[in-house]
Structures are given as structure tokens and as C-alpha cells.
Amino acid sequence: MSRMIVKRVTVGIVTLWIASVLIFVAMNVLPGNAATAALGRQVTPQAQQLLSRELGLNQPVIVRYGHWAWGVLHGQLGKSAVNSVPVTSLISEPLVHTGILLLVTLVFLVPLALLLGIGGALAKRGGIDAAVQAVMLVFAAVPEFVVGTVLILLFAILWPVLPSVALTVSPSTLALPVATLLLVSLGYLARMVRAGVRNVLDSPHVAMARLKGLPETKVIRRHVLPNCLGPSAQALAATIAWLAGGVVIVEELFGYPGMGQALVDAVQSRDAPTVEALTLLIAGVYIVGNLAADLVSILSTPRLRARL
């Protein structure tokens, strides 16, 4: 187990490093830089060169990346290239707002996905089960900005009971962003839970437990649910990873003051240190989520534990 954790952590660190290099190169490939974004298109070349020198943008890309990476190794994310404010203080409030949005979404997502997935797997195949699966498949296939736009049209324009713009964090402003993330991610997670439970129900050891005369409730509690925990955890980790990236579009759509909105603003202003910090946080959530899912899958599956 310890070797597996060390190996996965090492792979995660390498992945974060590769992601940081790619993002840094991409920010330098885009036309313009922080100096041109701050001064505007009508700026004179002399003023642009002066500000570029003050911000250190006249240095080679590898030198600027080396300075930034050295600071990260020492726990410092650097300063914003636009206003010279430390990146940690610049992204702390958006990070909290995004955390609230994701936490509220998961509070509703996990029990609903388990209820629909397990209920659909235990129910007999029929018209109701097929209709529910079709609806979940539609929501899983439709992009989040389409779902969000429809919700704005329904509940902010045709029936104006909720605000269409979430400039502050409150129950009313969280309703539409949470509903958008919930509807888009619920279909995938519930279908994966249903598939995992179906697979366990068709396994030989469940059939043997039933032949021994165990009550159905005990079969489900002792033999089905523990063995479907691993695949469900993997699906949940994939959903959390998607939420960490998909929240960017939802926050931009609703004007929510979170990490996604801050990332869009940083890209528009060519603020490379801020973009690097936010993308590394998103990648870190993805890596930690997958590592946690692997641990849950191994600990809950005797066959996998025996291989360690």
C-alpha cells in the first residue's frame, strides 16, 4: 500500500510539473502580455517596454518559469503580473467561493446519485427505469452552458424567482449555478453507480448467497453495496475532477465570483502567475481525487487488497 501511494504521489507531482510547463508556454504563445493588457492597444512602444521591464516580461521564458517554479518550491506562488499583489491573497476569496459552490453541489449530488443509481439497479427493468435512464443520459450529454442558459430562461426571465447573475454568495444566488452543475453531473454519476450495482448483482457470489437462503436485504447490505463501493468511488472522483474544471464555464455564465471567473479574468489580462496557480489547483484536485478513489477502491475490495 505504501509503495502504491508513493508511486501515485510521484506520478501526480510529475503531472503537475508537466501541466505547469504547458500552461506557462501557452500563456506566452498567446498574443500580447500583461503589459499590453494593462496599458491597452493604444499604448506607445516606449511605455510598453518600460512596463515589461518592470514586470520582468523582457526576460526569457525559461528564466521567468524558473523564478516562478523556485518560488512554488518554497511555498510562494509569486505576484500577479498585473497589479503586483501576491497571488495567494488574490485567489484566496475566489477559492473559498468555489469551494462553497462545489460543496453545496456535492451535498445534493452524492445522495441523489446513490438513490437513483442503486434504486435503478435494484428495480426491475421496465418503462420507468428506461425513462429515468434516458433523462439522465440527456442531461449527461448536454453541455453545462446550455443547461445553465435554459435555467436562466425558465427561472430568471419567464418565471423571475431567482437571480440570473450571482455576484454575491447567498442561497438565492447559488441556486442556479448549483442546479446547473447538479443536473449535468448527476446523470453520469447515477448511471455509473447503477452499472456498478448491476455488475455486482450478476456476480457468482451474490447468486451463491441467494441460494443459501439469505434475505434479499442482507444480500444487498453484505455482498452488493460493499463491492460496488470501489467503482462508485472511481466515478465520484471523475465527477469531482470534472466539477473542478466545469465550474469555470458555470461561474463565467452566472458571473459567480469564484475560481473560474478569476481564471478567465487572469487569462484575459495575461496574468501568467495567477493562471499557473489556478490551473495547478484544479489539476491538484483532480490528482488527489483520483488517489483517494484508488485507496477507497483497494480498501473496499478484498481481491485488490490481496495483490498488495
DSSP string, 87-154: HHHHHHHHHHHHHHHHHHHHHHHHHHHHHHHHHHHHSPSSHHHHHHHHHHHHHHHS-HHHHHHHHHII
- 252 has a pLDDT exceeding 90: no
Residue-level pLDDT at 151: 93
119-124 long-range contacts, CB within 8 A, separation 24+: 120/190, 120/194, 121/193, 121/194, 121/195, 121/197, 121/198, 121/201, 122/197, 122/201, 122/220
Calculate the average pLDDT of the chain.
80
Q: What's the pLDDT band for 176 if we cut at 50, 70, 90?
A: very high
Higher-pLDDT residue of 243 and 82 is: 243
Residue-level pLDDT at 308: 58
- 55 has a pLDDT exceeding 70: no
Q: What's the pLDDT band for 271 if we cut at 50, 70, 90?
A: confident
Buried b (16+ CB within 10 A) or exposed e, 101-111: bbebbbeebbe
Residue-level pLDDT at 104: 93
- Find the mean pLDDT for residues 62-68: 80
Residue-level pLDDT at 40: 58
Q: Of 63-72, 115-124, 126-135, 244-253, which has the strongest mean pLDDT?
A: 244-253
- The answer to whether 231 and 303 are in contact (CB under 8 A) is no
- 27 has a pLDDT exceeding 70: yes
Domain 93-268 has CATH 3.30.830.10: no
Q: What's the pLDDT band for 179 if we cut at 50, 70, 90?
A: very high
- 159 has a pLDDT exceeding 70: yes
Domain boundaries in the chain?
Answer: 2-73, 93-268
Q: What's the pLDDT band for 286 if we cut at 50, 70, 90?
A: confident
Higher-pLDDT residue of 136 and 155 is: 155
Q: Of 70-79, 93-102, 110-119, 189-198, which has the strongest mean pLDDT?
A: 93-102
- 154 has a pLDDT exceeding 90: yes
Helix (H) or strand (E) holding 284: helix 272-300
- Find the mean pLDDT for residues 71-76: 79
Residue-level pLDDT at 181: 93
Residue-level pLDDT at 83: 74
